[in-house]
Amino acid sequence: MPKKTTPISCDWKTVASRKSGIKSATNKSRFYRHKGSFTWQGIKIEKYKSNGKDWSGIVRYTLIGNHGETTRFHLRYFEVAPGGHSSFEMHKHEHVVICVRGKGKVKVEKKSYAINFMDTFYIAPNTPHQLRNPFKKPLGFFCIVNAKRDKPIILNR
């Protein structure tokens, strides 16, 4: 009978912790109080992307995924200023967008959809997409993605 081995992981402490039932020192339950104006206590504002000219007027807050959690997903909040937009891109991973502030437009392949408060959009893998805010108030949305994901391919509009 073959010898049982521990699965190989780049996060070996987490695998060992799960097997032993011991919680990781960094993976603990946390509460992020909403401070109003779509900001959360303990969550820092981030650049949408490190560089690029294919997007404008958009910022990101990573609520779940950058604080030692071992989830298989990340939860981010994006805010798009009036006139702003994300890059037109595609990637192998899927994601879910839930509009929670204002309204905007979601371009998927060649079709455009209006998105309003609590509208939810599933974007399938390898599907070109972009979020735009042609309106006078901010567009805010939660985005749920795989924790392990590929880098997007930027497309021409």
pLDDT tens for each residue of the chain, 157 residues long: 555 544 443 343 444 444 444 445 578 899 999 999 999 999 999 999 877 789 999 999 999 999 999 999 999 999 999 999 999 999 999 999 999 999 999 999 999 999 999 999 999 999 999 999 999 999 999 999 999 999 999 998 6
Rg of the Cα trace of the chain? 18
CA atoms within 13 A on the CB side of 92: 5
Query: Phi/psi of residue 77, each to 5°?
Result: -115, 130
- Partner residues linked to 85 by β-bridges: 56, 132
Count CB-CB contacts under 10 A for residue 54: 15
Q: How much is the pLDDT for 26?
A: 72
Which among 126, 155, 152, 125 is positioned nearest to 49, based on CA atoms?
152
Choosing from 115, 139, 143, 145, which is the catalytic residue? 143
Distance CA 67, CA 57 (A): 25
- Are 13 and 25 within 8 A, CB to CB? no
- What pLDDT, on a 0 to 100 scale, did the predictor assign at position 9? 37
For domain 30-154, give the CATH superfamily.
Jelly Rolls (2.60.120.10)
Has 10 been annotated as catalytic? no
Q: Give pLDDT, residue 51.
A: 75
Determine the Cα–Cα distance for residues 93 and 71; give it in Å rounded to an integer: 16
pTM listed for this prediction: 0.81
